Structure 1
Amino acid sequence: MPTSPFIVPTVDISPYLAEGARAHNSAECARVAAELDTACREVGFVQIVGHRIPAATVDRLTRELDEFFGLPLETKKKYRRSPSENRGYSPPVSESLSMSLGVQSNRMNDFYEAFIVGTETTEYPDLDLPEASYATNTWPGDAPSFRSAVEEYFTHAQELARILLAAFTDALRVEPGYFDAMVDHSINALKMNNYALPEGEVAFDGDATGMGAHTDFGILTILWADQVPGLQILGSDNAWHDAQPADDAFLINLGDAMARWTNDRWRSTVHRVNPPITDGQIIRRRSAAFFFDGNHDAVIEPLPGTLVDGEPGYPPITVAENIAAKVAGLKAGVKPTVALREAARVLSAR
């Protein structure tokens, strides 16, 4: 009997952006919440349209990504930070995302280069926040318009993430505002990635991967990406499936925090990027992943009603602890000390 095709559902979230939708009691919002619940239970990824992020904002971001990533490698390396800081520039083959799950790699072999910015302590002057989680950003002076374009996009993505969280709250049937105290000083980050590297800068070999198999660390991720093959999602059939964004759509996926909160009722889906290779060259692919991660001190433990009698739940962990453990694997090759359920799935994938 043939299996059903793998599909990432598309959901129009515009009812949650409509005037007066804050009460979330309309039939349209209820429909959206139900569609999101199905997508989060069955796939862990969803395409969203009706998001209202201006196309001009995305176009400006991509132009500035091209300007920065087009700089000489030695120039870009001026903006590199230490492995303990999740900010600044990461050169090619300096990270291994599979190690964030404890899946051993022979070396740092993810072929992308990236630039990361995020929430800073200065945004919450009345709170005593740890610099480790809310690090000061590095901005590339060699790309003078980069900062304003990135900050514009970051603001829009942050607003969209909070709207999505409101819809997720309805989908999970917890009281409105349930997560508010867990995200009122959320660690948010934007990781901008580039896979098309100039010939001769970095040697490509068969051991290099585009971006190793991993889950995301926080609550949810908003992904803009070129409509180029490469992203693959590990389905419930334990097989890899290709996925790419539709026209004017963003790909949304859940992170570890949401999976732990729901005790895997909702899926933090394993995914990877294997950009297509033609004549030994990687076809150009760019992406920007906005991570909505939650407060550093928010405790991730099962939501009410997500555990049945005798069912084991995830042990409590703070958002910062979970992120720190996975970043240590990603950037420094330090295997997480806690066994991760996702690692077994990666190792058995076909």
Structure 2
Amino acid sequence: MRFSVPTVDIGPYVRGGAVADRDRVAAEIDAACREVGFIQVIGHGVPDDVITGLTEAIDAFFDLPVAEKLSYVRPAWENRGYSAPRSESLSLSAGVESATRMNDFFEAFNVGSTVSDHPGVSMPEHYAPNTWPALSGFEGRVTAYADQAQRVAGTMVEIFTDALGLPRGFFDAMTDASIEVLRMNNYALPAGTEIALDADLTGMGEHTDFGIVTVLWADQAPGLQVLGADGVWHDVAPADGALLINLGDLMARWTNERWMSTLHRVKPPIVDGTIRRRRSAAFFHDGNAEAVVTTLPACVDADHPNLYAPVTIAEHIAAKLAGSRVGVINVAAERESARVMQSQR
């Protein structure tokens, strides 16, 4: 089967379309989730000026002097603030040791949902406060995009509910205080950073996303690769005006891998011996910290035995973050690591 990332117009859900149109969208999403796990979505309703504001904010932050960016580093377990180049290794979150033992060279800045957004949550450690850089307009522009991405993520969960034949609102009680993170990434190293430009250089190591669904804005510079069912890594770039949607581990658990959490990575966009700037912003919708993820009964039968024990979202996310941000290999990611090792690298 030829690899391609399906394009789906989710407008009937965004605009409140007819039932027949929504059913068609749900069927298209089901097929895309079964076959690829990555989707180009159009009709998402995110205004162009909001995306422009986001890109301007990303550029303004990553253009700051290195010393100033480093002042925004936060403890690894908080998943907030600045991550410097080579401070993380995403492959460890998938249970895979980097072949070169070189951490990923991207830099990132994270903001997310906080205790003030969800007063009274039972596990406040998963809702750390944000640190906002002292840049004019940065917080407003980033927040405006995060609000839109959150809306799109909610729409996708609504579509997933219909696609899986679940009762309306099935996921509401597990997502009404969702752990959410907007991670802004930059793949151009700061001036003066010394690193060899060789075949082993990794922009972002192979990994699956941790939660329910990811809403990804990315520019069209090369680098993003998705592992297909054929075991081959395929280049993926967003179409004009599209957002990329991919499934996280928790949806794979709920569906017993009827829908797969897609392995992906970023290779450095190197042109004439230098790394081109590549920017992206991933909004992770992960669910409530205390919610327990248990395989949906409809996804288990004699031909599809249950692959997963129940787990709280907090436990799952903590093991993933310990891999990527602390450097502790995730031994629970046996199925993800097996897929990576079987891939044609």
- TM class by shorter-chain length? over 0.9
- Could you say which residue in structure 1 is the equivalent of 2:294? 301
- Could you say which residue in structure 2 is the equivalent of 1:8? 5
- Could you say which residue in structure 1 is the equivalent of 2:277? 284
Question: Displacement of 1:220 after TM fit?
Answer: 0.3
Amino acid at match of 1:289: A
Deviates further, 304-313 or 242-251: 304-313
8 A contact 2:222–2:269 mirrored in 1: yes
Matches within 5 A, 1:58-207: 58-105=51-98, 106-125=100-119, 127-141=120-134, 143-206=135-198, 207=200
- Could you say which residue in structure 2 is the equivalent of 1:335? 329
8 A contact 1:121–1:130 mirrored in 2: no
Q: Counterpart of 2:50 in 1: which secondary structure?
A: helix
Distance 2:190 2:109 in 1: 17
Residue 268 (structure 1) aligned to one of 250, 261, 269: 261
Distance 1:235 1:324 in 2: 27
Segments of 5+ residues of structure 2 without an aligned counterpart are: none
Residues 152-198 of structure 1, C-alpha deviations (whole Å, 9 max, x = no match): 10111111111111111000001111111010101111000001123
Structural RMSD (CA): 1.3
Distance 2:140 2:277 in 1: 24
Identity %: 55
Distance 1:44 1:251 in 2: 10
Residues 103-142 of structure 1, C-alpha deviations (whole Å, 9 max, x = no match): 01254510100000000001122x234232100111111x
Distance 1:267 1:84 in 2: 26
8 A contact 2:93–2:333 mirrored in 1: no
Amino acid at match of 1:199: A
Q: Counterpart of 1:196 in 2: which secondary structure?
A: coil
Q: Counterpart of 2:144 in 1: which secondary structure?
A: helix
Residue 202 (structure 2) aligned to one of 201, 206, 209: 209
Q: Counterpart of 2:169 in 1: which secondary structure?
A: coil
Question: Displacement of 1:281 after TM fit?
Answer: 1.4
8 A contact 1:99–1:330 mirrored in 2: yes
Distance 1:73 1:102 in 2: 31
| C-alpha spacing 1:251/1:161, structure 2 compared with 1 (3 Å) | same
Matched, 1:315 2:314: no
Q: Counterpart of 2:205 in 1: which secondary structure?
A: strand
Distance 1:344 1:250 in 2: 29
Amino acid at match of 1:153: Y
Compute the TM-score of the two structures, normalised by the length of structure 2.
Answer: 0.96
Count matched residues.
Answer: 341
Question: Displacement of 1:288 after TM fit?
Answer: 0.2
Question: Displacement of 1:75 after TM fit?
Answer: 0.7
